[in-house]
Amino acid sequence: MKLATHNKKEREIVIVGCGFAAVALGISLKKAGLNNFTILERSTEIGGVWRENTYPGAACDVPSRLYSFSFEQDYPWSLRYAPQKEIFEYLKHCIDKYSLTPHIQLGVEVTKATYDDTTTTWSVSTTDGEDIETDIFISAVGLFNNPSIPDIPGQELFQGSQFHSARWDHSVNLTNKTVASIGSGASAIQYVPEIAKRAEKLFVFQRTPQHIFAKGDRANAQQDHHTTPWQKLLHRRERFQLFSRFEKNSRRRSSEELTQKSAKAFEKYIQGLVDNPDMLTKVLPDYPPGCKRGLRSDDWYPTLLKPNVDLIDTPIDAVTETGIRTKDGEQFAVEAIIYGTGFTPTAFLTPMRITGINGKDLNHTWRHGAEAYLGISVTGFPNFFMMYGPNTNLSGSIIYMLENQARYITKCVKTLERTKAQAMHVKEEVQKQFNDEIMDQLSKTVLVHENCRSYFQAENGRITTNWPGLMLDYHRRTRRVRKQDYIFI
């Protein structure tokens, strides 16, 4: 495959995925004068999760002023919590403004990447049979790119429409239909209120109740791209306030006192909304706030109380030709099934196969749970870096984390230039020490509560996705590249 023509005196860099992570990295590389990079995107459009999740009501659950790049924070968002379409347009805006388009190749899906010990280069293979040689290989595919659909007996027998929320079938008209929604997570709490407005009957099948606090969404003051100095000052003030609030919430996870305070506040909040004892039993979790992803919605609980909506917490036994059967034998006839069942975030880099030094397979290396140094570099895989890697998810703005990762990776490339080394990878003992520290910190948080089972955890219970500390802690750890942490080849 012929890549875009860049300065051949520079190292060749291949980045996989074109969502927020790749855009952050591309801009960081260009600012550092590194222009010899190509972004490969398997879809025919950029955008990642903000391209794919087009379900009704899709929006960000982090306020727009914080869910944006620090260098591009004056975008004219219409709402405090931006809808999917605006976030998608924001990414396009950043790509155009920072001239990333010549670096992007669409419709190219990577299947595997293999490191050559002899040439210290990577061979990146695609589904169309092409092999791309590159000096540096970077994954920016994110955590939420592979939908998770539970294996329920009888799914193939269902005669109606069924689809995952991240693959929404807009050809299916749900108006005046009887619909089943399986799941009550971050996506479901957004599309269920929208579907309830037009469905004749909506059955919401819930496995586990969530802590869903009020969102408090509102319209922003109307503006355009010509931001005044006063508006800029207000934007930065709001961003700082939001940043501080999320940092405070992060501290709660390791504080029993703050967790109990939050649990009491939630119970009081729910009791003020739900006066039906049976419904109250169904929606109150038996685990503390913070052990799962924090959710926000102004519409979820009012929707569950509508006469055309039923919340079912009996486990599903099977899908039948005409609907869903629960474990107690009750039948629910439906015309469409929507799976709001999330993704497989612990299956990092799926479905790519990554092979490092001496044929070292990354999937095998991570068989007991993914780990990396700073979530970015893995021992035994020279010149391979990750965005949104293991233990870098958090309660806050992932965009802030991605910016830190982008700067760190850019500094790694500059370090290679200064040292005139061919490749670098983290020392095994450094990676181990870092991950032992992370696991120890996580073991002291509410994330490991006995009643808590979340997508943060791998099959063996190890938390492989979340950062245990503050966003500022991660900034401190990634502000510079410590040469003593790496082996240079």
- Full DSSP string of 289-352: TTSS--EE-SSHHHHHTSTTEEEE-SPEEEE-SSEEEETTS-EEE-SEEEE---B-TTSTTTT-
Residue-level pLDDT at 227: 76
Q: Range of 432's domain?
A: 13-146+344-488
Residue 248 lies in a domain: no
- Helices and strands in the chain: count of H runs, count of E runs: 12, 21
Do residues 126 and 110 lie in contact, with contact meaning Cβ atoms separated by under 8 Å? yes
First to last CA, the chain: 27
Residue 260 lies in a domain: no
Residue 317 lies in a domain: yes
| Same domain as 162, residue 49 | no
Give the pair of three-digit tokens for residue 284.
């109150």
| Same domain as 373, residue 472 | yes
Angle between helices 229-252 and 256-273 (to 10 degrees): 110
Distance, C-alpha 53 to centroid of its chain: 12
Number of separate domains in the chain: 2
| Same domain as 115, residue 166 | no
| Same domain as 388, residue 335 | no
| Same domain as 273, residue 194 | yes
Residue 238 lies in a domain: no
Residue 283 lies in a domain: yes
DSSP 79: B
| Same domain as 276, residue 197 | yes
Under 8 Å CB-to-CB from 250, ≥6 apart: which residues? 394, 395, 396, 469, 470, 471
The H-or-E segment that residue 14 falls in is: strand 13-16
Residue-level pLDDT at 225: 66
Residue-level pLDDT at 411: 98
Give the pair of three-digit tokens for residue 51.
């391209």
Residue 219 lies in a domain: no
| Same domain as 120, residue 188 | no
Residue 235 lies in a domain: no
What CATH number corresponds to the domain at position 19?
3.50.50.60
Using one digit for the tens of pLDDT, what is the confidence trace for 184-215? Answer: 999 999 999 999 999 999 999 999 999 999 99
Residue-level pLDDT at 10: 83
Please state, in angstroms and rounded to a whole number, the distance separating the CA atoms of residues 295 and 181. 18
Please state, in angstroms and rounded to a whole number, the distance separating the CA atoms of residues 352 and 144. 15
| Same domain as 333, residue 201 | yes
Please state, in angstroms and rounded to a whole number, the distance separating the CA atoms of residues 447 and 452. 7
Last residue of a domain, one of 339, 374, 402: 339
| Same domain as 289, residue 385 | no
| Same domain as 403, residue 313 | no
At residue 365, what are phi and psi to the nearest 5 degrees? -60, -35
Residue-level pLDDT at 6: 46
Do residues 127 and 289 lie in contact, with contact meaning Cβ atoms separated by under 8 Å? no
| Same domain as 464, residue 361 | yes
Residue-level pLDDT at 224: 60
Last residue of a domain, one of 292, 311, 339: 339
Q: Pick from 276, 419, 438, 312: which is nearest to 371 by CA?
A: 438
At residue 336, what are phi and psi to the nearest 5 degrees? -150, 145
What is the β-pairing status of strands 353-355 and 336-339?
unpaired
Do residues 189 and 179 lie in contact, with contact meaning Cβ atoms separated by under 8 Å? no
Rounded to two decimals, the pTM is: 0.93
Residue-level pLDDT at 333: 98
Please state, in angstroms and rounded to a whole number, the distance separating the CA atoms of residues 366 and 364. 5
Residue 227 lies in a domain: no
Last residue of a domain, one of 323, 339, 355: 339
Give the pair of three-digit tokens for residue 59.
């929006």
| Same domain as 199, residue 88 | no
Mean pLDDT per 10-residue interval, the chain, length 489 residues: 54 97 98 97 95 95 95 93 96 98 98 96 96 97 85 97 97 98 95 98 96 86 73 92 90 82 90 91 90 89 96 97 97 98 79 94 91 98 97 92 98 96 98 96 86 76 89 97 98
Please state, in angstroms and rounded to a whole number, the distance separating the CA atoms of residues 314 and 329. 10
Residue-level pLDDT at 223: 62
